[in-house]
Amino acid sequence: MMKSTEIFSARESKEMEDILSRYEASASAILPLLHYVQSIQGHLSEEALTFVAEFIGVPHVRTFEVATYYTMLFTEPVGRHLVQVCRNLSCHVNGAENVLEALKKELGVDVGKTSDDGLFTLVEVECIGACDHAPAVMIDEDLHRKVSEDSVNRILGSYREKV
Amino acid sequence: MMVRLTIDDKQIMVDAHMNILEASKKLGIEIPTFCYQARLSELGACRMCVVEVEGMGKLQTACTLAVAEGMVVQTGNARIKKARRMMLEFLLINHPLECTVCDASGECTLQDFAFKYGSAETRFTGEKRVLRDQIISPLINRNLNRCIQCKRCVRVCDEIQGVTALGMSYRGADTIVGPFMDKSLDCEYCSHCIWSCPVGAITSRAMKYRARTWEMDKAEAICPFCSCGCTLHYNHKDNVVHRVTHTEGRGINQGSLCSKGYFGYDVINHPERITSPMVRNAEGVLRTVTWEAALTTVAGKMGQIKDDNGGSSIGGIVSDRLTNEDLYLFQKLMRSVYSTNNVDTPSGMWSRAVLPVLEDRLGVFAATNSTDELNYVDALLIVGCDVTVSHPITGLRVKHAIHRGGLVTEINPRRTALSRLAKRSLTVAVGKELALVKGMIAVIIEEGLYDSEAVKDYKKLSDLEFSVKEKDLNVIARNTDVSVDDIVQTAREFAGAGKAAIIFGETAALHSGGDLLINALIDLLMLTGKLGQEGFGLYPVIASTNFQGTVDMGIAPDRLPGHVEVSSATERKKFEKAWNAKVPKDTGMNALEMIQAAADGNLKALYLAGVNPLATFPGGKVVAEALKTVEFLVVQELFLTETASMADVVLPAGTLAEKNGTLTSMDRRIQRTQKAIDSVGLSRPDWRIFSDLGVMGGENGMKYVNAAEVLDEIAQTVPFYSGISQHILADNGLQWPFSREDAREKFHEGYLGTRHLLMDGVPLDKRIFSAVSGWDTHGADSQYPMTLVFEDLLFHSGSFTRYSESLNKLASEATLLMNPQTGIGLDVPDGSTVRTVSAQGEVSVAVSYSEDLALGVLFMPRHFANAPASALMVPGRNRDAETAVVRVKVVKV
């Protein structure tokens, strides 16, 4: 088994120990640990999934099951910013499809893909709880309300400027 | 607690823990289900088993709902039928209708339920989900389009096999069953996933497109690969075995098999089987001849050698894979016709190392308890073996015990598949196990944890106390590289457990001081009172399929059938009367002595039945010399092995699939095995060849019409087989010793004979501690400082499995396993080739690093041609011989 200090900094290892210690059954720490590792590495590589499985003492396939189940966990590398377009009912009737098309065109990628500059990965998600502001788009942790085809450019631009 | 409920207007009383599905079964009501399997956790995923329960609005899944007092259940009204029909309609949206080419067709649950409960029409017209047919291993196919996501394979892999190689990944309609990262399977190939799949989503590649399920006939046989004694069914068509199946709840294995049992059947119809007898002609070439010619040659030459040099110049070594009938007739032929007690089997080495200790200390010559009792042990010590490899189904019992919370401690020079699951795995160099066991005994005495009632009338308790006191626990811990805490905890757990047992294997028993270790283990059992009850006891485990049969049938130079001594005139007289022939009185030579005598020119004729000494006996050179020098060599075999090709006469024998007979498992269970196909080519069952030779040698008492007649004779001459017949073995077999009357009258009511020995406790005259002195049973040798442990692989158990194409796909050559630190110390990198040298000889083999090994210990499988163990194993008289554990040095090339 790889030691945590071989892959992570001392502070990160400590944080993972802390997460693990919060749970009586170590297997319960699987989701928070996967979140944490993804926050450091951007996605969950094979090494990361193997590490977390061994760290908490569950069979390897368990972390793979969890990582592939949740749309918020990624087993492939993603761009610096994650563009999540809601495709549920409220957003759909309020024009989410047009927003998605505009995003595809602007980023030059299909759903599930990452733009050539590596900045954005475009995904569709189920309801993000912003029906009153439909159509809604989440980029990383930011909620963008009542998005239209026209505002797409401006919104993306604000992230490009951050670079 | 029992509850009364009503199912389909019928009343029934059942145990309160039962679910509705099982309760209905008791009434003969079938409730359809895909995902439920009695041995697995309940899931309620497939929704096929829905029933209506009075007072509950929604339909309920019968598999997850426990029965309750007064419950009223309907299992097949219109509402339920409609729900089931809809479930099937959903499943058939994506399930491809390729039953025409599917291997599961004919025994597919979906096919059956669609026929019985489904509709001929569907309301869905969209495209079916099409996923690529992914091959996930050399032997197992996965077809995800057929998968109905019942999760049986995933659960069986986790809950029964304890491997957890499969999971359910992705989500919703995209969910697929597969290994970690969608890679290929890295698992034990136990076949549980294939067996548990209700459709054709997981199938055997070895079986693909060979035969339709309904075309094959089935014969119930006993697995030929180890001494667990598993029941399996050979499925055959046109005299070819096309697959092996197993039945839930049937036999010792209760519906489980391992990779060898499930995939190894292809040795039976292997194209290289010898199909006719051969005799070496004047030019020295083996030529095909008729049976009559071959048998006449053997009978004539054996007779001549016996007349010229006496019976003691003839020797016979017989395989421990053969049936009791084969074995019995072999020794009868050697003793009564060829007048020799030179009779042995390759596992005779084990018999002589282990049985004298068991007889001396406990008065038994077999494992004391039944293997299925291991399911429920609270504490277990496993010493010097990997039981999941040598006896995979017994290994499942251990996994079951762990699953239940049993505290298992493994003491072995290498971590095993159990290490991850067990309470603790103590990686200890060979020879240091004794110190650990003595440390445990010290703790138990010190803390007063011993069974004071049990040890009351034991002698030498003070000697035992004294023998363990000379070393401090801290010193023991340092010497064995195990923490004091581990020693103390293991001791406390073992002594305090309600049910506790010990398993030991070849590494423990067959190294130089193995007898001391076995004695210490017996002391531990006596001290803690863990003998003579269910869930207690001592299990010596050796892989040889019918090892116990060789012991019981007198395959030993000093024992007659029934394990009685050749030197006893009374016993000899009994057999002389039964056989109407003389039985020689002098103890014969054992297998290694016979080889040496043949090499020296003192043994003139050697009869080898199913034995390949060139590959498996110690002392490669002396074996080759022996086979070359011996005047007359008869080899009875399935294949033209290295040894067979040196023979003067080659007699083609049959596999277990080609004969009727009985085998005795490692827990004394005598079981019937039945013929599936006719003998391949002109081959004949071993017992019949022995019988024919006996008659030609002038003994009419050797004439038998079938194997049942041989068993009848065994039933008369072997006291603890008394009264046995193929008929009374039909249901479950019998564990000796058994009551003749009970066996006859109650065999189909589940009477099994004696489940465990020592029911009246350890015999009074044996209640003595041995108080073993010394601390290291192996010791260092400056010339050969490394310890090489030979152990089977999970996929190969001997030279026999080398002929399985399927198993060869999983592993087909030997590498030398060593700890990376050992490797760095020797300056041999991972993957490099080294010379491994013992006092006997050397082999060149590639190194493979493994963190699982103790320092200074090396591991290698025995039987592969690239590194024949024979070249390294050191011959000698019993304890001097090094066969399982060999001292070697490793030289960088």
Instruction: Dump the DSSP string for B128-148.
Output: PP-----B-SSSEEE-GGG--
Ramachandran angles phi, psi of B278, nearest 5°: -135, 145
CB burial string B572-583: b at 16+ within 10 A, e below: bebbeebbebeb
The packing angle between helices A96-107 and A151-162, to 10°, is 50
pLDDT of residue A7: 77
**In what helix (H) or strand (E) does residue B196 lie, and over which residues does it extend?**
helix B192-196
CB A34 within 8 Å of CB A53: no
pLDDT of residue A4: 62
pLDDT of residue A5: 62
CB B641 within 8 Å of CB B305: no
Q: Is 90 exceeded by the pLDDT of residue A161?
A: no
Q: Model confidence over B853-886: pLDDT tens digits?
A: 999 899 999 888 888 888 899 887 767 788 889 9
Residue B58 structural domain = 2-76
CB burial string A53-73: b at 16+ within 10 A, e below: bbbbebbbbbbbbbbbeeeeb
Q: Model confidence over B723-746: pLDDT tens digits?
A: 899 988 988 899 999 988 888 888
Q: Is 80 exceeded by the pLDDT of residue A3?
A: no
What average pLDDT score do residues B287-298 get?
97
For residue A155, the domain's CATH number is 3.40.30.10
For residue B834, the domain's CATH number is 2.40.40.20
The closest CB to that of A68, out of B158, B170, B179, belongs to B170
Q: Model confidence over B185-237: pLDDT tens digits?
A: 889 999 999 999 999 999 999 999 999 999 999 999 999 999 999 999 999 99
Same domain, B527 and B656: no
Residues of B in contact with A50 (CB under 8 A): 180
What average pLDDT score do residues B163-167 get?
94
Domain total of chain B: 4
Q: Are strands B833-838 and B734-735 parallel, antiparallel or unpaired?
A: unpaired
Same domain, A88 and A153: yes
pLDDT of residue B799: 67
By three-state DSSP, how is residue B891 classified? strand
What average pLDDT score do residues B782-794 get?
89
Q: Is 60 exceeded by the pLDDT of residue B11?
A: yes
pLDDT of residue B595: 95
Q: Is A104 inside any structural domain?
A: yes
SS3 assignment for B448-472: CCCCHHHHCCCECHHHHHHHHHCCC
Q: Is B200 inside any structural domain?
A: no
Q: Model confidence over B531-590: pLDDT tens digits?
A: 999 999 999 998 789 999 999 999 999 999 999 999 999 999 999 999 999 999 999 999
Alpha-carbon gap, residue B853 to B843, rounded angstroms: 21
The closest CB to that of B171, out of A64, A69, A75, belongs to A69
Q: Model confidence over B309-368: pLDDT tens digits?
A: 999 999 999 999 999 999 999 999 999 999 999 999 999 888 888 999 999 999 999 999
Q: Model confidence over B504-524: pLDDT tens digits?
A: 999 999 888 899 999 999 999
Alpha-carbon gap, residue B220 to A11, rounded angstroms: 62
Instruction: Dump the DSSP string for B342-393.
Output: -EE-TTHHHHHHHHHHHHHHHS-SS-SS-GGGGGG-SEEEEESS-HHHHSHH
Ramachandran angles phi, psi of B163, nearest 5°: -100, -40
pLDDT of residue B865: 83
Q: Is B136 inside any structural domain?
A: no
Same domain, A140 and A95: yes
What average pLDDT score do residues B34-58 get?
94
By three-state DSSP, how is residue B684 classified? strand
Same domain, B472 and B406: yes
pLDDT of residue B132: 72
Q: Model confidence over B362-386: pLDDT tens digits?
A: 999 999 999 999 999 999 999 999 9
pLDDT tier, B667 (very low <50, low <70, confident <90, very high otherwise): very high
Cβ-proximal residues to B470 (8 Å cutoff; 6+ apart), any chain: none
Same domain, B605 and B627: yes
Q: Which residues are registered as beta bridge partners of B639? A: B273
Alpha-carbon gap, residue B806 to B263, rounded angstroms: 6
Q: Is A74 inside any structural domain?
A: no
Q: Is B664 inside any structural domain?
A: yes
Mean pLDDT of chain B: 93
When scoring A43, A63, A64, A125 by the number of chain B Cβ atoms within 10 A, the one with the most, hence best to mutate, is: A64
Same domain, A52 and A102: no
pLDDT of residue B129: 85
Q: Is 90 exceeded by the pLDDT of residue B835?
A: yes
What average pLDDT score do residues B468-494 get?
94
Give the domain-ending residue among B540, B566, B585: B540
pLDDT of residue B666: 95
Residues of B in contact with A46 (CB under 8 A): 181
Same domain, B693 and B830: no
Alpha-carbon gap, residue B666 to B115, rounded angstroms: 45
Least confident of B335-344, B787-796, B842-851: B787-796
Alpha-carbon gap, residue B712 to B197, rounded angstroms: 42
Q: Is B667 inside any structural domain?
A: yes
Alpha-carbon gap, residue B33 to B50, rounded angstroms: 9
Give the domain-ending residue among A20, A38, A69: A69
Instruction: Give the number of A-B residue pairs with CB atoms closer than 8 Å.
Output: 35
Q: Is B241 inside any structural domain?
A: no
Q: Model confidence over B98-154: pLDDT tens digits?
A: 999 999 999 999 999 999 998 878 888 888 888 876 777 889 999 999 999 999 999
Same domain, B597 and B525: no
Q: Is B662 inside any structural domain?
A: yes
- Asked if the Cβ–Cβ distance from B180 to A68 is below 8 Å, we say no
Same domain, B526 and B640: no
What average pLDDT score do residues B460-482 get?
92
**In what helix (H) or strand (E) does residue B628 lie, and over which residues does it extend?**
helix B620-629
By three-state DSSP, how is residue B793 classified? strand
B376 alpha carbon, distance to own chain's centre: 20
Q: Is A63 inside any structural domain?
A: yes
B497: nearest Cα among B468, B523, B535: B535
For residue B611, the domain's CATH number is 3.40.50.740
Q: Are strands B538-540 and B500-504 parallel, antiparallel or unpaired?
A: parallel
Alpha-carbon gap, residue B702 to B693, rounded angstroms: 8
Residue B642 contacts A, CB cutoff 8 Å: no
By three-state DSSP, how is residue B757 classified? coil
Alpha-carbon gap, residue B88 to B118, rounded angstroms: 6
Q: Is 70 exceeded by the pLDDT of residue A163?
A: no
The closest CB to that of A46, out of B170, B179, B181, belongs to B181
pLDDT of residue B214: 95
Same domain, A88 and A146: yes
Residues of A in contact with B169 (CB under 8 A): 61, 64-65, 68-69
Residue A121 structural domain = 81-160
For residue B52, the domain's CATH number is 3.10.20.740
Residue at B801: amino acid letter:
T
Residues of B in contact with A68 (CB under 8 A): 169-171
B512: nearest Cα among B797, B876, B822: B876
The closest CB to that of A65, out of B163, B165, B169, belongs to B169
Same domain, B530 and B571: no
Same domain, A95 and A153: yes
Q: Model confidence over B411-423: pLDDT tens digits?
A: 999 999 999 899 9
The closest CB to that of B167, out of A50, A61, A71, belongs to A61
Same domain, B690 and B713: yes
- Asked if the Cβ–Cβ distance from A69 to B179 is below 8 Å, we say no
Q: Tokens 């944080």 identify what position? A: A15
Q: Is B70 inside any structural domain?
A: yes
To the nearest whole Å, the CA of A51 is away from the closest chain B CA by 13
When scoring B151, B155, B169, B852 by the number of chain A Cβ atoms within 10 A, the one with the most, hence best to mutate, is: B169
Same domain, A103 and A59: no
By three-state DSSP, how is residue B250 classified? coil
pTM of the model: 0.92
To the nearest whole Å, the CA of A90 is away from the closest chain B CA by 22
For residue B427, the domain's CATH number is 3.40.228.10
Alpha-carbon gap, residue B73 to B7, rounded angstroms: 5
Phi and psi based region of residue A42 (left: phi greater than 0; alpha: psi -120 to 50; beta: remaining): left
Q: What tokens does B765 get?
A: 């005259």
By three-state DSSP, how is residue B308 classified? helix
Residues of B in contact with A61 (CB under 8 A): 164-167, 169, 179-180
Q: For residue A88, what is the DSSP state?
A: S
Residue B168 contacts A, CB cutoff 8 Å: yes
Q: Which residues are registered as beta bridge partners of B817? A: B848, B859
Same domain, B585 and B721: yes
Q: Is A76 inside any structural domain?
A: no
Same domain, A107 and A137: yes
Residue at B425: amino acid letter:
S
Q: Model confidence over B610-666: pLDDT tens digits?
A: 999 998 888 878 999 999 999 999 999 999 999 999 999 999 999 999 999 999 999
The closest CB to that of A64, out of B158, B171, B180, belongs to B180
pLDDT tier, B759 (very low <50, low <70, confident <90, very high otherwise): very high
Residue B578 contacts A, CB cutoff 8 Å: no
Same domain, A86 and A149: yes
Domain total of chain A: 2
Q: Are strands B500-504 and B379-383 parallel, antiparallel or unpaired?
A: parallel
**In what helix (H) or strand (E) does residue B245 lie, and over which residues does it extend?**
strand B240-245
- Asked if the Cβ–Cβ distance from B164 to A61 is below 8 Å, we say yes
Give the domain-ending residue among B688, B704, B728: B728
Q: Quote the percentage of chain B above a pLDDT of 70.
A: 99
Q: Model confidence over B521-547: pLDDT tens digits?
A: 999 999 999 999 999 999 999 878 999
Q: Is B747 inside any structural domain?
A: no
Alpha-carbon gap, residue B724 to B868, rounded angstroms: 41
Same domain, B434 and B524: yes
Alpha-carbon gap, residue B816 to B236, rounded angstroms: 39
Give the domain-ending residue among B540, B573, B600: B540
Same domain, B556 and B696: yes
Q: Is 60 exceeded by the pLDDT of residue B436?
A: yes
To the nearest whole Å, the CA of A62 is away from the closest chain B CA by 7
For residue A33, the domain's CATH number is 1.10.10
CB B810 within 8 Å of CB B795: yes
Q: Model confidence over A30-78: pLDDT tens digits?
A: 999 999 999 999 899 999 999 999 999 999 999 999 999 998 899 999 9
Alpha-carbon gap, residue B202 to B200, rounded angstroms: 6
Nearest CA in chain A to B850: A1
Alpha-carbon gap, residue A161 to B815, rounded angstroms: 58
Chain A: which residues have CB within 8 Å of chain B? 46, 49-50, 59-62, 64-65, 68-71, 75
Cα–Cα–Cα angle for B238, B101, B119, nearest 5°?
120
Same domain, B579 and B532: no
Q: Tokens 């499995």 identify what position? A: B801
